Structure 1
Amino acid sequence: MIHALFETPSTYRPTAAETAAPVPPVEAVLFDFSNTIFQMIDLETWLRRVGEAGGRTAVLNDDDAVAGIARQLRDAFRLPAVVALQEGRDLSPERHRRAMRGWWAHVDFLRGIEETAYRELTAPDAWVPYPDTEPALRALRERGLRIGIVSGFAWDLRTHLAHHGLEDLVDVCVISCEVGREKPDPQLFLKACADLGADPRATLMVGDNPVRDGGAIACGLRAYIFPAEHRTGDRGLNEVLRLVP
């Protein structure tokens, strides 16, 4: 009784039979997309692509100039008005575009070519898998597990999967802009489980944000959270393979 008073708030209410039975083995794995199995190309590369596409090539061969633009971009992201625009930006493409334009308007290099910058942000090859993404997905598939993505994203991330030939390794994508909800809303995780035909109690969520991705535990899933660090090598997805049969 005392323990029950201190339980974490949750939408998940297991039955007495479920709590007494062995924990079911994992039969499905859900992944966050950004910074979990894919990452955006590095900032300097993106700025050079934007400059080339937008006809602003004068500074692109000057590493110090590009670094200065990158600093201005990072500094602008901390402005209160820009921070406010990011709230709920992944709920729709329109909100995300507005948030990006409001941010980039504070960066001299990007002012006036915001649409070009947005095209380069959403280009199929602007997001790349980690070196261990494909091997991990294939290993899970070979073990017979179902695979889904649950992501806070403002456009169809399937274009990036297809560009890298990984679309056949993912069964389901639940994307915030398509359902009008953001993690940690339980409905996103439950929809992914339902679309996969998987029991939430037998599903593992893998991500890099303890609040957003860890919210999966509120509806009965298990969760594995990576450190939210910028990785240039493997993401560590081999660790996920140790958690599944």
Structure 2
Amino acid sequence: GPICAVAPAPVTRPEAVLFDFSGTLFQIKAYEDRIRAALPHPVDGSAMDAILTSLEAGLADPAVIGAQHARDVSSAAHRHAFTTWYASAPALAPFAGVLYDQLRSPEHWLPYADTEKTLAALDARGIALGVVSDVGWDLRPTFALHGLDRWFGSWVHSYEHATEKPDPRLFAHACAELGVAQADTLMVGDHPAKDGGAAGAGLRSYVLPGGAAPGAVRGLDAVLRLVDGPY
């Protein structure tokens, strides 16, 4: 007999939006600034160029590459991954721990120029908000420093769950905490596999194009257009 087509369920307005952290809502200050803050002596332009070149070269070091494996599943793995990379630059090796402490410090992170107004606009629309981040430390103090923590009803840090995005359990946990269905939730991030992978867990996903500089406009107005429809 004829095959009966099943009408797809209508797409409704999202009830919740989950956000990635780094590269989505916040960006860390430039390495030049961080290195100057970490080192106890002045660093001139040529010395800084040499340090940045050796950091870049370190990304190809087998030991550094190996240390990145599953780096976000625990605080210890995260610290090991970053300090191994920092130490691959000889001038930074004695200060790898200082640089890592910076990474965890709220004052070294800047929200994008459109982060606050986007979160406020979503909250005004009655949208529940959560953070789902591959990270090795608690992000709440960083958001709180900028007065941005008050809008979030769920904080999912990968290291607290011993796994990384796109593990469906991370997205499901956030949705459960917010009391929303995964099909009614939008995940916003900047990593196609990790954040876009939320689609595999039944969420909608929006992946921002390549990174913007700290404090720049990120293009988060696109999230409001996705939420507003038409539906």
- Give the TM-score normalised by the residue count of structure 2: 0.92
Match of 2:42 among 43, 58, 70: 58
- Contact kept, 8 Å, 1:30 with 1:150, in 2: the verdict is yes
Asked if residue 48 in structure 1 is aligned to residue 36 in structure 2, the reply is yes
Describe the SS at the equivalent of 2:93. Answer: coil
- Contact kept, 8 Å, 1:120 with 1:126, in 2: the verdict is yes
- Contact kept, 8 Å, 2:36 with 2:42, in 1: the verdict is no
Partner of 1:143: 125
Asked if residue 30 in structure 1 is aligned to residue 18 in structure 2, the reply is yes
Describe the SS at the equivalent of 1:25. Answer: coil
Q: More displaced, 209-218 or 65-74?
A: 65-74
What displacement does 1:49 show?
1.0
**Deviation readout 1:130-181 (Å, 9 max, x if unpaired):** 0000000000000000000111001111121011111102221101011111
- Contact kept, 8 Å, 1:49 with 1:120, in 2: the verdict is no
Partner of 1:235: 218
- Contact kept, 8 Å, 1:44 with 1:67, in 2: the verdict is no
- Contact kept, 8 Å, 1:24 with 1:201, in 2: the verdict is no
Match of 1:167 among 140, 143, 149: 149
Q: Find the aligned partners of 2:136 and 2:83 in 1 and give their Cα distance.
A: 14
Match of 2:197 among 201, 211, 215: 215
Partner of 2:163: 181
- Give the TM-score normalised by the residue count of structure 1: 0.87
Q: Find the aligned partners of 1:71 and 1:230 in 2 and give their Cα distance.
A: 21
- Contact kept, 8 Å, 1:46 with 1:121, in 2: the verdict is no
AA of the residue aligned to 2:13: P
Asked if residue 155 in structure 1 is aligned to residue 143 in structure 2, the reply is no
Match of 1:75 among 57, 68, 75: 57
Q: More displaced, 62-71 or 168-177?
A: 62-71
Q: Find the aligned partners of 2:113 and 2:81 in 1 and give their Cα distance.
A: 30
Partner of 2:80: 98
AA of the residue aligned to 2:130: G
Partner of 2:188: 206
Describe the SS at the equivalent of 2:227. Answer: coil
Describe the SS at the equivalent of 1:223. Answer: strand
Q: More displaced, 104-113 or 205-214?
A: 104-113
AA of the residue aligned to 1:192: A
Describe the SS at the equivalent of 1:33. Answer: coil
**CA RMSD, 1 decimal:** 1.6
- Contact kept, 8 Å, 1:190 with 1:219, in 2: the verdict is yes
- Where does structure 1 differ by over 4 angstroms across 4 or more consecutive aligned residues? none
Q: Find the aligned partners of 2:102 and 2:213 in 1 and give their Cα distance.
A: 21
The count of residues paired between Structure 1 and Structure 2 equals 223
Q: Find the aligned partners of 2:183 and 2:18 in 1 and give their Cα distance.
A: 12
AA of the residue aligned to 2:63: A
Describe the SS at the equivalent of 1:242. Answer: helix
Q: Find the aligned partners of 1:119 and 1:20 in 2 and give their Cα distance.
A: 50
Percent same amino acid among aligned pairs?
Answer: 44
AA of the residue aligned to 1:88: A
Segments of structure 1 that go 5 or more residues without pairing to the other structure are 1-15
Segments of structure 2 that go 5 or more residues without pairing to the other structure are none
Q: Find the aligned partners of 1:189 and 1:206 in 2 and give their Cα distance.
A: 11
What displacement does 1:71 show?
1.5
